[in-house]
Amino acid sequence: PTLQETFAEIFPRAEIVFVTGGLGPTSDDITRELVSEFLNLHLLENSLVREAISCRLALRRIPATERIWRQALVPRGGQALPNENGTAPGIYISANVNPKIPSPHLFLLPGPPRELEPMFRDFVVPIVRQITAASEKLVMRSFRIANMGESIIEKKIGAAVLAVPGIELGYCARPGEADVRVIGNAEAVSIAERIIREKLGNAIFSVADETLAAVLVRLLSERKQSVAIAESCTGGFLANEITNVPGASNVFVAGCVTYSNEEKIRTLDVSRESIEKFGAVSDRVATEMAEGVRERTGATYAIATTGIAGPSGGSAEKPVGTVLIALSSENQPTRCEKFFFPSDRETFKQLVAQRAFDLLRRAL
């Protein structure tokens, strides 16, 4: 969508909107023009901004051009925000500055981080604090969902949550997980939270922005239990994710990458007969990998992965993207599940890791 189409969609329902970039002197820097056109506000030259631009140009011995002076234009009713590291000022336009066009509090900010960050810290944050202090306090809740796509989540909760008066609902998807965020007053958010928990249940693995690996480390630590990992197709990705979590040393016993069949046999005691009869990518081999690494390390739980990451190596029976994940534990029969994740190798590893970690989380 164009910027103006985006304005038309979000302005009637947003309280504060930030737009970054498009304030400079080049021909494609048209943010201020589009905003002034959409809100039907004349662009007026700000003499203080023009003077600041002139001083900066003189210090750097840069000749002034008509395009550079465009940066001194501010929509009527707007407030220029000083730019300590560039020529383009930011612009703040208060809500409903044109009574005929409903609009939120609007911040137009430079794109380069060197210019944006100090402006945001020194000028934007104080204004936002004034705005929020004058309005009803908003509450946000975040729910992290395992192995469920945005469309499925929306189908389960979207209509019911959006039926709550005064609630805003948003999604953010990543391989193997998605965030659901609700914003509103305390009562509305409390109602929305009950709906989300009722409809998504155990698929919610965190309300504190924890990674799935971090949740596992925490749960295992609380139970004084441990985990070991045997990987083939994921090449150490699961072990890396676990060891990225502070405190992993309390629960993570060992990880091994047994990429070749011979190494599976030598390191994990996988049966040669199982590999020859069923293939390395099979539930039998995945099960033996998990049981082998658990027995060798003495861990409470063990995870094993074996599959075909691609882009080659697949067959009609076992296409690229096929993966077997096994979970072995001290007191339960080993569980093995088959999945299909046709994607690039990096995404494949992420999806396998998320699914494997979620199998263990649910077991805990």
Query: DSSP letters of 250-318?
Result: GTEEEEEE--SHHHHHHHH---HHHHHHH-SSSHHHHHHHHHHHHHHHT-SEEEEEEE--SSS---SSS
Sort strands 227-231 and 168-174 into parallel, antiparallel or unpaired.
Answer: unpaired
Radius of gyration over every alpha carbon of the chain, rounded to an integer in angstroms: 28
AA identity, residue 319: P
pTM: 0.67
Q: What's residue 284's pLDDT?
A: 98
In the chain, the DSSP E strands lie at: 16-20, 43-45, 73-75, 79-81, 90-93, 105-109, 139-146, 168-174, 177-184, 204-206, 227-231, 252-257, 301-307, 322-329, 335-340
Domain ranges of the chain: 3-134, 139-206, 212-363
Task: Kindly give the parts of the chain with pLDDT less than 70.
Answer: 134-136
CATH of domain 139-206: 3.30.70.2860
Compute the C-alpha angle 85/87/92, nearest 5°.
Answer: 90
Whether 268 contacts 259, CB under 8 Å: no
10 Å Cβ neighbour count for 92?
21
Q: What's residue 135's pLDDT?
A: 64
Q: 212-363 domain in CATH 1.10.3720.10?
A: no
Q: What's residue 139's pLDDT?
A: 87
Query: And the tokens for 331?
Result: 């007191």
AA identity, residue 317: E
Quote the CA–CA distance of 362 and 215 in Å, as a whole number: 11
3-134 and 139-206: identical CATH topology: no
Task: Note the Cα 216 to chain centre separation in Å.
Answer: 19
User: What letter does residue 121 receive in the DSSP assignment?
Assistant: I
**CATH superfamily label, 3-134:** MoaB/Mog-like domain (3.40.980.10)
